[in-house]
Amino acid sequence: NYADDVMYVGRSMSAVNPPQSNGVLERSSMDMEEVDVFFPRPHALAVTPGGEYVFSASLAENRMIVLDQGSGDGTFHEFDGDINTLVQFAIAPDGQTAIVGGELTNKLFFMDLSNLPEVSVRSEIEVGSRPWHPIFAADGRHAYFGNKGANTVTVVDTQTGQVAATIAGEGMAQPHGSAISADGRFVYISQQNTGSGGMDMSSMGGMSHSHNGHVVVIDTATNEIAKVIEVGVMPSGVGSRGVSR
């Protein structure tokens, strides 16, 4: 939460039967208390731009909760259909829209936030296999996320609610985290490249470690890969001093 001395923590995807709660930390002291969310495996997590509300969603059920930070009350929302396994939220800079991807259904959901704490699904679209961590551009016009099972990155036009581009190519190997530069020129997508379930890019020139990860740099003007940077093993979350919520 940028507005207060507070940080929120979800549960790892690899945690076996974790508590049905999230952590709330005082950043200055790192003291933590747990807040119940009443559903299994809470993972997806986001805070509205003003810090008034926190979103949390379940990996195991089609449920999310909107937590009012002023009152402590929670409002639940349920998604229809098959279990999605909601991976992560991104909230538009104007705070009116959120997006979240379903790992098992390969769908991206557009959520209306105009009547918080109530939320509703405005629309949904089919995207690549296993949509992962999304991020909005600073102007909110486009959103970007990796498709972990397809080794691609999807660009979404948020005005039309449709896929604007699908990016594939060198360095794409289990895309995970996403970040955008402060000037909006580049998007950075971490690539885990574990050699299981994704493309093993160890044959790339100069790559000496068979499972080193990468960061793929995408030029937002052309939606083309500008650079591939080798990093350490299993890169996951990534951030920048640009738009990160």
How does pLDDT run across 2-31, given as a tens digit for each residue?
668 899 999 988 888 899 999 999 999 999
Q: What confidence score (pLDDT) does residue 2 get?
A: 66
Terminal Cα distance for the chain, rounded: 10
Q: What is the mean pLDDT of residues 148-161?
A: 97
Q: What confidence score (pLDDT) does residue 80 get?
A: 95
Question: Tens digit of pLDDT for each residue in 124-154?
Answer: 999 999 999 999 999 999 999 999 999 999 9
Question: Tens digit of pLDDT for each residue in 59-105?
Answer: 999 999 999 999 999 999 999 999 999 999 999 999 999 999 999 99
Distance CA(107)–CA(52), nearest Å, equals 27
Is-contact 88 64, C-beta < 8 A?
Answer: no
Distance CA(130)–CA(64), nearest Å, equals 19
Average pLDDT, the chain: 91
Distance CA(150)–CA(15), nearest Å, equals 24
The residue extents of the domains of the chain are 6-126
Pick the CATH number of 6-126 from 3.30.1490.190, 2.130.10.10, 3.30.70.380, 3.60.15.10: 2.130.10.10
Is-contact 115 66, C-beta < 8 A?
Answer: no
**Host H or E run for residue 26:** strand 21-26
pTM: 0.89
